Amino acid sequence: MTAQKTMTTGAWVQMGLLACIWGGSFLSNRLAIDEAGVATVVALRVSGACAILWGYVLLRGLPVPRAPRLWAAFLIMGIVNNALPFSLITWGQLSIESGLAAILNASTAILGVLVAALAFRDERLTPAKALGVTVGFAGVVTVIGPASLRTFDVTSLAQLAVLAASLSYAISGAFARSVLGGLPPEVAAAGMLTGSSVVMLPAALIFDGLPEQAWSPAVWGGILYLAVIASALAYLIFYGLLRKVGAGNASLTTLLVAPVAILLGAVVLGEALPLRAYLGFALLALGLLIIDGRAFGRRAEAGAT
């Protein structure tokens, strides 16, 4: 009988730390894009994290892939798991609050279940999963608000951009399972960041050009946090957590990121979210808990994506 992955005290501490780190990334995005362009922020984030992770890989003596097929996969992963979603979220934060962006990003876990059900026979959409997905989507509609879709202004477009980023994350999870299985996760992350750097560094020059003036310490602080803490360090913590507790347990981090981002946005930026945002997040969280299953006294049916 296969031993089941369980959450230890140490794993909960790691999960809490990871939630705090990723929750802070939304605040850092907001601080950085006040002066730097969206493409520049993303380019510096992924290229900085890329350099750090390759240093880690070489220091550990992990094997560096040489097959062209894998490097093509790294390029695709770099686009769908980094370049595209990072850009969409960062652009969206030009028009919506950081806490709201984090809440909408929590739909990644819900969308991941749908994508996995379409892509893999062993992750079919069971009745429990279908109920969880339905509740989760009700949460998304509540967060956005039907009125926003009827008027459809730049705020509505920004919210849809963050949802598109969540879908991109979900697709990347399925792609990684299909193509990158068997690689050390640190190597896969470094390769993926290489792919996103190849895309974003030229994009930053094309869309933003070279900086015309010196950035403030707040901007540099935000960019350094995104590259060093929210990307390089966060990946190392996440993959260590993944090995210990499994994908299903690790996905619960999604529930903890949004409250951290909401708190930081309120304290540092003075953001105030409408009541529907909190109600929608509650529905999103309920949907994920239904999918996970343990909160309702049964084993989780969800597999790893």
Q: Structural domain tally of the chain?
A: 1
pTM of the model: 0.89
Is 4 exposed, middle or buried (CB count within 10 Å of its CB: 0-12, 13-18, 19+)? exposed
| Residues 81-96 pLDDT 10s | 999 999 999 999 999 9
Q: Are the CB atoms for 196 and 46 separated by under 8 Å?
A: yes
Q: Is the pLDDT assigned to residue 304 strictly greater than 80? A: no
Q: Does residue 240 lie within any of the structural domains?
A: yes
Domain around 110: 18-296
Which pLDDT does position 247 carry in this prediction? 62
Distances in whole angstroms, Cα of residue 11 to Cα of each of 16, 137, 241: 9, 29, 7
Assess if residue 6 is contained within a domain: no
CA distance 84 to 182: 25
Cβ neighbours of residue 156 closer than 8 Å, sequence gap 6 or more: 144, 148, 149
Here the tokens at position 189 are 């992350």
Query: Is 9 inside a domain boundary?
Result: no
In terms of phi and psi (left: phi > 0; alpha: psi -120 to 50; beta: otherwise), the region of 124 is beta
Range scoring the smallest mean pLDDT among 93-102, 170-179, 254-263, 280-289: 170-179
Tell me if 109 is assigned to some domain: yes
Q: Shortest CA distance to 85 belongs to which of 119, 46, 50, 27? A: 46
What pLDDT, on the 0 to 100 scale, is given for residue 303?
38
In a domain, 40, yes or no: yes
Cα separation, 85 vs 45, whole angstroms = 13
List, for residues 114-127, the tens digit of each pLDDT value: 888 888 787 788 89
Residue 304 lies in a domain: no
In a domain, 218, yes or no: yes
Residue 25 lies in a domain: yes
226: number of Cβ within 10 Å: 27
Which burial class, exposed, middle or buried, applies to 159 when counting CB atoms under 10 A from its CB (0-12, 13-18, 19+)?
buried
Identify the residue whose tokens are 């028009």. Answer: 95
- Which of 76, 30, 8 lies closest to 230 in space, CA to CA? 30
Predicted pLDDT of residue 248: 60
